[in-house]
Structure 1
């Protein structure tokens, strides 16, 4: 190759490099001016190709389960004595039934309450409740309160802490299984309370409820006597204690049919307890 040919080839290479350099510089300047350079052609999409997400799209993807945590339930205060009556306006009373449910008597009591559109509270024993969950479900479905009355109805003040907790916790488990939620109210058998009972009840989210009027229906004194005790003790905020199990409760069933319409005619509103947070 002659000297002139070498010089011509060298000039061509220099000119090509300059053109390429100018094109690159123009692309940079265009990008700075806001005109994005044309991207290279995308490869042909195959059968499994997926459109790529833009970076902002990734940031907008919510994480599964992410969100504000549910609010913590209000803690139950540790009481030093049980509620003996319920505060409220007007002539309000509470009817409560202990020791059940019993398939021989509880359904009749529920039927009477439904007939007069009245709600009551049933403090059930887990041992009985575990065999009659359908009755617990009916209580809850019809607007009654289902409370905890321990598993086997022992005298709690003579038991160790672990046994007391077991008696209460097992019963709450049965109630939750039948009704869909744990009980908010607890009643100690025989009305025997102490500091441990109050503390464990609060730990399990339950308030203690005792009674104002004891019908002593468990002694089977007669239908008229039971009804008379309820009517004589009637007053705003009163809590009446009766039983729907633990023995023959036919008198309790019939007495309810006697005194309930008379209480309603006297202007009393029969209802269920409400949680107290102070």
Structure 2
């Protein structure tokens, strides 16, 4: 019978079948749109004792979703977290509905990504930093920040007044620290709106913050205090600057020592720095340049600690930017930190404005890490000229050179380093070394023992300068043998 169908009949049959298939596909598409379930996946994991994270992912033709949601065994803690996460999901769903036609027309899928970063700061005390990014159409998405601090010892979410002193004076001081940090960041400062920032900081109940033993970090949504080009913003304040404004009970829980209230932040110094040296003593100042470096600096600190020795570390801003915690460890151990410029350039070949920039940029980074501004400068390569000295004079930072070069950079040999130093050291020497060479860390235990056997006490450069009553810019070289 099929063979008997004439050619025009075949055309009619083909057109008919095509119409049927098209119609079926349309109906299936409609059904799938209304009834099909998205691809879903949920992964549960334990992060810390008492704290878990549920990670939910979804994928459809219209959107993708990935949400990390921490939870505990306490509903009172979970509820505010769930409420915030659900709000982001609801906003995302509303955005999809509003942009549905555009999404379908352009074949673009909306995205929601909520990531939670937990950190343990004490026994059963955790911080949670949330970052939620969503895009439902248009050229740009939006990022929102949220933070929670959980104390499972009390089964509660900590509020601002649980962590900070919030009298008027303390509030003003905290706001000032945050605004100073925002303005010191060139990327943020370019786009910052001061009036919006002040408004966001007005009520401590609206602050978004996390706390650790090293920093207190304040968070701002994209567009909250600056133009969108700045993105979501974090202002990280070193704990040394925040300590005077912490709630004493909370500070004890996270093992942060509160300074005496009558002392200002600027007055808080190492007791060793304030101790005057005996004029009849036998002293040497060991100095370490170019760090900090995780492979070497901790070993140097260990050796110094075993011999109860103090030293001066001339740090590069570029290194401190990568290893701020390590710089803070050096400071916490009672050692002195000086400025070795930002990028180790020969300052004598730079114009005055670039010299100033190299010094000041490094100084800001060091201050952010340790909570104090370095008060000494060592020019890279020991290279100085009239321009360098004039900038140092303008900035009020003494230039410190050395009288004994260990040549550790040249020999890269522990025995050779010890021989070079002990052959040239004299009372009042300033010794040049570098905490970037493993061989220098290898040399230090024996070098410290040898110096002690000769009756030397290891002190900071500032202590030597105070002993000699040398207050000017210098340069200061130390005593020659």
Which TM-score band (shorter chain)? 0.5 to 0.7
Shift of 1:233: 1.4
Structure 2 CA distance for aligned equivalents of residues 112 and 219 of structure 1 = 22
Moved over 2 A (4+): 86-90, 202-205, 274-278
Shift of 1:187: 0.4
2:298 maps to 1:112: no
- The SS at the match of 1:167 is helix
Compared with structure 1, are the counterparts of its residues 101 and 221 closer, same or farther at alpha carbon in structure 2 (3 Å cutoff)? closer
Shift of 1:115: 1.1
Residue 250 of structure 1 is aligned with which of 432, 435, 438?
A: 438
The 8 Å contact of residues 149 and 188 in structure 1, kept in 2 or not, is answered as yes
Compared with structure 1, are the counterparts of its residues 88 and 221 closer, same or farther at alpha carbon in structure 2 (3 Å cutoff)? farther
Pick the structure with greater CA Rg: 1
- The SS at the match of 1:186 is coil
Give the match for residue 130 of structure 1. 321
- The SS at the match of 2:461 is coil
Structure 2 CA distance for aligned equivalents of residues 218 and 117 of structure 1 = 25
Shift of 1:221: 4.5
TM-score by length of 2: 0.39
Which runs of 5 or more residues in structure 1 are unaligned?
A: 1-63, 66-72, 74-85
Structure 2 CA distance for aligned equivalents of residues 226 and 207 of structure 1 = 27
Structure 1 CA distance for aligned equivalents of residues 322 and 380 of structure 2 = 20
2:465 maps to 1:277: no
2:140 maps to 1:140: no
TM-score by length of 1: 0.66
Compared with structure 1, are the counterparts of its residues 271 and 105 closer, same or farther at alpha carbon in structure 2 (3 Å cutoff)? same
- The SS at the match of 1:102 is coil
Which runs of 5 or more residues in structure 2 are unaligned?
A: 1-168, 173-265, 267-276, 473-481
Residue 175 of structure 1 is aligned with which of 362, 366, 378?
A: 366
Give the match for residue 61 of structure 1. none
The 8 Å contact of residues 87 and 237 in structure 1, kept in 2 or not, is answered as no
2:395 maps to 1:201: no
Shift of 1:111: 0.8
Compared with structure 1, are the counterparts of its residues 137 and 254 closer, same or farther at alpha carbon in structure 2 (3 Å cutoff)? same
The 8 Å contact of residues 88 and 237 in structure 1, kept in 2 or not, is answered as no
Structure 2 CA distance for aligned equivalents of residues 184 and 177 of structure 1 = 14
What is the CA deviation profile of residues 203-232 of structure 1, one whole-angstrom value per residue up to 9, with x for unaligned ones? 223111100000111113421110011111
Give the match for residue 259 of structure 1. 447
Bigger relative contact order (CA 8 A; separation at least 6): 1
2:412 maps to 1:224: no
Structure 1 CA distance for aligned equivalents of residues 328 and 425 of structure 2 = 29
- The SS at the match of 1:96 is strand
